[in-house]
Chains A and B, each alone.
Chain A
Amino acid sequence: MNLFDILGPIMVGPSSSHTAGAVRIGRVTMKLLGSVPKKAEIYLHGSFADTGVGHGTDKALIAGLLGMEPDDMRIPQSMEIAKEMGVDFCFREKHFREAHPNTAYLRVVDSNGKKLELQACSIGGGRILINEIDGIRADFNGDKPTLIVRNEDKPGHVAFVTTTLANAGINVATLVLNRSKRGGDAVIVIETDMNIPIEAIKEIENVSGIHKVTYLNLQE
């Protein structure tokens, strides 16, 4: 942990895991969707469900979906702001098997009908882990620039994606590959040490068999 993970972050209270972490989960969801959602169904599990209201977890998740950071003073009013913006949202409690106690599951839709489902947990000190995207295991935290590629489970996709990154001079920090079933859908999650240029992302998007490319850079 760096020095300012210890003395910091500057955040709206009361809990780094239940408030700051929840804002980050909402914000990652919004970034992955590409815009503020039109509709959001949010399921809370474990401690998020039990103590979420008292910790403002609900307000924090909505604030994140609106693009706010954990230190945004508008977090306590996020639900009113979302309603004014015409964002339709609801909360439900749900138990997820073997999930971390501070887990949220979000199903969001943007104004063009683009959908995203995401399961994430808040692991302490405001840090988060994205467990699943669209039902496939992902496991990344968003600290580094992250490329998420959804493709058919066929030979050559991983090689193509990594070659494209290498050609762009991008160093891969971590790479994880998961699939729903053999020959089904696969998800490649790549964390990199530097920003990925838009040209490289477009090149990957245009390959047949690659369904969806999402790039997450929370620093931007």
Chain B
Amino acid sequence: MGNTNSHSKQRFSFRRSERHISSSSKNSSSIPTITATTRNQSPLTTVSSFNVHHQVSNNAISTPNNQEQQPPSDVVFAASHALVGIGAASSSHCSNNNQQQTPSSPVLLSSSMNTSFNVFPLHHVDSDMTSLTSTTTSVRNSRTALSTSIHISDIPTNINTVMQISNPTQSRASTTNNNTTIHTTTINNTTTISTTNESSNLKSRQSLPPSTQQQIARLQENSGYRRSLSTPKLSLLKKKNVLKAFFMLHRRNTIDEAEMKGEEEFGRRVTDSEEFISMQNVNTPIVDLSPSSSTQLPQHRPRVHSITSAATSDSSSSATRAGADTDTDTTIAAELDEKKKIANILNKSFSKTRTVIKTQSHSHVEIPSSDHGKTPSDRKNLERSASAPSIMTNELELLLRDAMGFQLFKDFCVAEFSVENLNCWQELLDMEKNFIDMSGKRRSKVINMVYDKFLDDGCSEEINIRGKTKKLVDTERKSGTINLDTSKHLLHEIKRDLYTNLVDSFSRFIYTDEYKLWHELKTNPSNVFE
């Protein structure tokens, strides 16, 4: 911002000219241009400063200064990841209750988080994040009191999860186990900073207030985890992850007692090998985190583990990766005898799940994106919206309907920083089903909620949509009451844009091993074991 004055002089003629070109230059030069840098680097000194930022961004809806608020929104981003993680879990809870009845679901994030929280309470993060959350929620007053309380109680644990996921990648060199490292991450930042490879930038900020350091550390931890993007070649390790997710999903559908027995056996085996892998791979065994929980609550494992290994296999050197693979090999070899048994169980349980998936997709038929099985009147409704996403690809549609596919895709999107689209997509689906029973006022409220959460400038989970769509929703939401047709039209418009976003992520997801294996499982499950 150095020579701001001379700088603007140099551009003066240019600025003047643009005024008559862009009609809405109201959001223009009057804003002091603070570089993203300044704020990026400048840590959030206190939570309250963040609060101010956020409210500013909320008030100045038409101001495109989200760049200047990067760090706060990032914190919110992390926080809202937690929010939506929970939201998604609960919503999937609604949509496929027959799958979710037992608590052993890998999708049911909240349960896993609660446990890790119990095992491993983080007081600092806890208090910190609670205030942060209340900020978020107070900004969005449209939220109900109920959801607020849920968020406050759950967020810290989620952050905890994120840290425990990201930690192995960064602190490989340190010999401390996960437990201690995380502990120091949150309570005493200095230790973490010294053990973390990539936080060289942080060192300098040790003089900053501890709350700031924590926040930076959190950001750093986040980015550290997410930095491992590129997908390695199909390793046995990954294959196992997918399989594990698959098993966890299907355990619940198996009623046959004999199968149950076999599966339980297998479940234990999976957990065991998992411990093994994570110990070999990560040096910082996650198992140490909750020594008792690994047997009691095997359902937590797949999620945590899959991310850990994805991160590890990428960021660790090829030598260690090779080592890890051999380790997996031995594990796999140990399981060789089981293979046939497993394949049997899988085949049986799979045919069951297929029906489950079928019924599930029936409940989703009301989605405007799929035209199949629509009554003529429904179709008419559809045709009202000039741009309903009638172009849904079969594969993407299938993927989104399948719980495991959805979860795998979601993990991929998280790694690519594009999970807000999926979150929004899911929320819209759930919402749409209920629109018919709502009053106009309620619909308006719901649309407003969507706008605040996903569309508003600088909001935590802003999705990438056309300005036109945003404007349309913005004008409609102010009317106070929205009739059914309009609300459907609005959702169509958003979903059309969302769909193109999902397709972009999907176009890369199809090259990942997760997708390939998922696809293989869907088409020919027994092949995976041959």
Instruction: Decide if A and B are genuine partners.
Output: no
